[in-house]
Amino acid sequence: MNSNQAFSYSTNQPFPHHLPPHHVVVYPVDPCVVEALRSAIGSYVVLETTRGRIEGCVVDCKPDHVVLDVHGKKFFVRISEIVWIMPH
């Protein structure tokens, strides 16, 4: 079977089971980091992430991301990507 045949099925046929399933990645919640960021709402912080450093004012914090205001622009940073936090 070639790659074109794998996707040629009609809508009234069951989905072909020979295709690999999609995987969902789940990141655990880090309640200590979330709590620290929530207590810093309204404060200026420096975050070191796996992609580099970002500085700004904490606007909001959810279980999976934090919102920073950096010179009027909003940045949404995943909690799972944060290495360390420093109040500024």
pTM metric for this prediction:
0.68
* Lookup result for tokens 């099925």: 9
CB 68 within 8 A of CB 58: yes
What local confidence, expressed as pLDDT, does residue 13 receive?
A: 59
pLDDT at residue 69 is higher than 60:
yes
Q: Where are the alpha helices (DSSP H) in 20-71?
A: 31-39
**For residues 68-73, average pLDDT:** 98
Name which residue leads in pLDDT, 77 or 13: 77
**For residues 28-56, average pLDDT:** 95
Residue type, 82: I
> pLDDT digit string (tens) for 79-88?
999 999 999 8
* CB-facing half-sphere around the CA of 26: CA atoms within 13 A: 2
- Residue 70: CB partners within 8 Å, gap ≥ 6? 54, 55, 56, 57
Average pLDDT, whole number, for the chain? 85
What local confidence, expressed as pLDDT, does residue 57 receive?
A: 98
Given pLDDT bands bounded at 50, 70 and 90, which one contains residue 73? very high
